[in-house]
Amino acid sequence: MHRALANGRIMTPNGVVTGQVLLLAGARIEALVAPDDPRCRAARVDDLGGQLLVPGFIDIQVNGGGGVLFNDDPGLTSIRAIGEAHRRFGTTGFLPTVISDDLATIGRAIDAAQAAMDAGLPGVLGIHIEGPFLNRARRGVHDAQHLRALDEHLVPLLCSLRGGRTLLTLAPEMTTPAVIGQLVDAGIIVAAGHSNATFAEIEAAIAYGLRGFTHLFNAMSPLAPREPGVVGAALYDESTWCGIIVDGHHVDPVALRLALRCKRHERFVLVSDAMPTVGSEQTSFVLQGRTIRLVDGVCVDEHGTLAGTSLDMATAVRNTVALLGLELAEAVRMASEYPAEFLGLGHELGRIAPGYRANFALLDDTLHVRRTWIDGNDSP
């Protein structure tokens, strides 16, 4: 049976459309039609109440949510709880993210992501492995005891996901361009993060397929007058994507505005870097033996080191409008279309257009999420 989403403002690639009906056929969008289209008469109609329907958000960095930290119990139950928590904030596609840990835990996380996709768990697009191939000098809250170099013997483990997307954050100086090339050739999306690399080292990694940068400005060598570092390379290269955390704490909004002047906007991706506090009442959690507290909206350890965020994607979109001065449509694209392109899924996700998967978020006038749809199935 067709479903018809009516009486809404619909954000399409060509702008916001009113007076039209979005016709769904199963998990896909069939067409945007006039209300008197014959197919609407036989469809089940959902009244959107004049609110704004936007493409569902895609979050490529989700450590936790709903009181659950993926590293603590990297299994199917954890992924389900995290996905349900973030769905309430418009996230309809995500990568559960495992941070630096022992190889056995990383293997379990990969298996869990595979099991989630095999089971058709809503929203799961693959996995993000953040570490342990990171530079100690830029490790942030990552546990130093787990950090290690990456050689070719570990490539089979990292490439063991059979479906979906695998995003690997590494410090390029902790491996070789040849190993990066092996990973890329095997279908892994490689991003630089927690890195103290030089500009030249990043350029070499890009030549071998490095595709992006994890939480731009944070935990990476800065732009300096005689060494542009990771930040300089990220802003200089036109082809790569940059994940950004727009919470008003991780990066000063002025720095992000400057970044947006350096590179076309479609190469910036909003991320939450979310921890268990998102979608939960809890104000603290334990991360690999350390207590992380939520203080004035910021997740920090006992030394004041940032430990992910308590940010959701809907808030990131609102912040992008309020703090960075972008138009709402562009902020939404940074949360939907652009991450879809980064993941190589731009042909089916990130837009409201015929043939695309029916993944949406319904926003009220304050840009808070009222309903979501994943593959045509809605939730309050």
Give 126-146 pLDDT, tens digit per residue. 999 999 999 999 999 999 999
Supply the pLDDT for residue 379: 77
What whole-number distance in Å separates Cα of residue 18 and Cα of residue 12?
Answer: 10
For residue 104 the two structure tokens come to 């056995």
Which of 143, 273, 301, 378 is flagged as catalytic? 273
Amino acid code (one letter) for 337: E
Q: What is the mean pLDDT of the chain?
A: 97
Supply the pLDDT for residue 175: 98
Inter-residue contact 230 to 220 (CB < 8 Å) = yes
Confidence of residue 380 (pLDDT cuts 50, 70, 90): low
Check whether 365 has a pLDDT greater than 90: yes
Supply the pLDDT for residue 223: 97
Confidence of residue 344 (pLDDT cuts 50, 70, 90): very high
Dihedral through CA 240, CA 241, CA 242, CA 246, nearest 10?
160
- Average pLDDT over every residue of 331-341: 98
Alpha-helical segments (H) within the chain:
38-41, 76-87, 103-118, 155-158, 177-185, 199-207, 229-236, 253-262, 313-324, 328-335, 337-342
Q: pTM to 2 decimals? A: 0.97
Inter-residue contact 360 to 373 (CB < 8 Å) = yes
Condensed to tens digits (0 to 9), the pLDDT of residues 176-228 reads 999 999 999 999 999 999 999 999 999 999 999 999 999 999 999 999 999 99
Check whether 152 has a pLDDT greater than 80: yes
Inter-residue contact 159 to 186 (CB < 8 Å) = yes
Supply the pLDDT for residue 58: 98
Query: Does the annotation count 273 as an active-site position?
Result: yes
Give the residue among 108, 111, 93, 69 at the shortest CA–CA distance from 341: 93
Condensed to tens digits (0 to 9), the pLDDT of residues 298-325 reads 999 999 999 999 999 999 999 999 999 9
Q: At what angle do helices 229-236 and 199-207 cross, to 10 degrees?
A: 40
- Average pLDDT over every residue of 53-75: 97
Supply the pLDDT for residue 106: 98
Confidence of residue 35 (pLDDT cuts 50, 70, 90): very high
What whole-number distance in Å separates Cα of residue 39 and Cα of residue 47?
Answer: 16
Q: Which domains does the chain have, with CATH numbers?
A: 2-54+354-379 (2.30.40.10), 57-342 (3.20.20.140)
Check whether 1 has a pLDDT greater than 80: no
Burial group, residue 14, by CB count within 10 angstroms (0-12, 13-18, 19+): exposed
Check whether 45 has a pLDDT greater than 90: yes
